Amino acid sequence: MEKHVVVIYPHPDDESFGAAGTIAKFREEGVPVTYLCGTLGEMGRNMGSPTFANRETLPEIRKKELINACQKLDIKLEMLGYRDKTLEFEDRTELAKNLKLYLDKIKPSLVITHYPEYAVHPDHNALGAAAIEAVEMMPTEDRPTVWAQAISNDFPAVLGKPDITNDITANFDKKFEAILAHQSQAMGVLGQHREKEAKNDLKEIAKQRLGFEQFYIWKY
Ligand SMILES: [Zn+2]
């Protein structure tokens, strides 16, 4: 059993779309989970559907949504306070050193992050690389296992079959609840602008697309 799982992603909602089912499984087993969230996703283009946010209100709104999603997932949250869409310009080693401070304190047995170069968004790639570097800075015997999540369309062709495939359809309700906590983002990301009557269909469609969570075990 894992001792403590640390999830490292840059945006509020990465945890819900990417790993909420896996997180829910760990929480069911009583494993503590901490989310290190890089930014507030304040540069996002989704403003709710129908629109209820604007450029000025988005940071506060996304912060509340993030806290809400983490409450639903019953995980601890640490907001790292970086600026959205700038992580690729941060000094990689400084970023890694900062992440390492958290890892040294929490001492997780497992770290979940994005697979650098295969995670589509520059923030995902940058923070994933920094997380991997942070673990690499630790003495070999203290290093947690790292699960790296690829998102790009071509990743299976290039990287091969992921080491871990979690079928999370059994606790998809929990994942969907966490996704919907990100009210300003959920509908935009799910590609759906109809409300209420479509909710059930929407959930079924999402289940097909997001019912499996896959990771590669990082090899140092
Ligand atoms: Zn993201």
pLDDT digits (tens, 9 = 90+) for 153-187: 999 999 999 999 999 999 999 999 999 999 999 98
* pTM given for the model: 0.95
Mean pLDDT to the nearest integer, 99-103? 98
Distance CA 126, CA 115 (A): 9
User: Strand, coil or helix: what is 166?
Assistant: strand
pLDDT of residue 198: 63
Give 44 Cα–ligand 1 centroid separation in angstroms: 9
Give 141 Cα–ligand 1 centroid separation in angstroms: 31
- The CA–CA distances, whole Å, from 121 to 8, 157, 212 equal 14, 19, 20
Give 59 Cα–ligand 1 centroid separation in angstroms: 15
Contact 68, 181 (CB under 8 A): yes
pLDDT of residue 197: 57
Look at the block and give the residue holding tokens 């299976």: 156
Distance CA 36, CA 38 (A): 6
Give 121 Cα–ligand 1 centroid separation in angstroms: 7
User: Strand, coil or helix: what is 11?
Assistant: coil
**What is the DSSP code (8-state) at residue 191?**
T
Distance from chain centroid for Cα 48: 20
